Amino acid sequence: MGKQRSEIAMSADEISDFLNAGGTVQLALIGPDGYPDITPMWFVIDGDTLWMRTYGKSQKVVNARRDPRCCALIETGDRYLELRGVQITGDVQVVDDVDRICWVAARLMVKYEGVDPEHIPALETAYRDRAPKQVALSLSLDRIVSWDHRKMAPA
């Protein structure tokens, strides 16, 4: 399986394109009962970090503060030879910085709501009143496993 895995792994450019294309990340943290707690999240990429935004009192934040170990999955495809995905493993960081929360929120609106990027400064300003009740979550892109089953299809 090792050789096949290396043949279907995405290149760094393919991973970047895949992560920036959209989709929803499934964020798995350890719940209060010790079992995985999986939550769909919108995300943006900034350099080598995946960023998300949520309410500071949400269960996922309680979980992350208690035990930051997580796994995040972004995947697409309905049939075996269409499957593509990126799995990121690491420690999620809870960030209370209002400027960063506004930064993330504005870019999520551009990525998922179709807002024109030229409105980012205004979005960041408008979001400041809501930001204190929220947090940003960051996850380093250091530990990635990827696959693109389309690479197995006959030429």
- Strands 143-148 and 84-91, by their bridges, are antiparallel
Residue 101 lies in a domain: yes
Q: What is the dihedral of CA 94, 96, 102, 103, to 10 degrees?
A: -50
Q: Provide mean pLDDT across the span 68-96.
A: 96
**Residue 155, pLDDT score:** 65
Q: What is the pLDDT of residues 111-153, one digit of tens each?
A: 999 999 999 999 999 999 999 999 999 999 999 999 999 998 7
Q: What is the CATH number of the domain that holds 16?
A: 2.30.110.10
- 155 assigned to some structural domain: no
Specify if 125 maps to a domain.
Answer: yes
Number of domains present in the structure of the chain:
1
- pLDDT, position 2: 58
Question: In 3D, which of 76, 121, 83 has the Cα closest to residue 102?
Answer: 121
Query: Which residues are CB-neighbours of 19 under 8 A, at least 6 positions away?
Result: 43, 45, 50, 74, 86
pLDDT of residue 153: 72
Whether the CB-CB separation of 101 and 52 falls below 8 Å is answered with: no
Rounded Cα–Cα distance for residues 107 and 31 (Å): 28
Q: Is the model's pLDDT at 5 over the cut of 90?
A: no
List, in order, residues 6 or more apart from 77 with CB less than 8 Å away: 83, 84, 85, 149
pLDDT 10s digits, 30-65? 999 999 999 999 999 999 999 999 999 999 999 999
In the chain, alpha helices (H): 2-8, 12-20, 59-66, 98-113, 120-127
- pLDDT at 135 (0 to 100): 98
Q: Which domain holds residue 43?
A: 2-150
* SS3 assignment, position 65: helix
- Global pTM reads 0.93
pLDDT at 16: 95
Q: Is residue 67 part of a domain?
A: yes
Split at pLDDT 50, 70, 90, the class of 154 is confident
Model confidence at 6, in pLDDT bands (50, 70, 90)? confident
Residue 145 lies in a domain: yes
Structure-token match 């809870």, residue found: 94
Read off the tokens for 101: 């929360």
What's the CA gap between 4 and 42, in Å, rounded?
A: 31
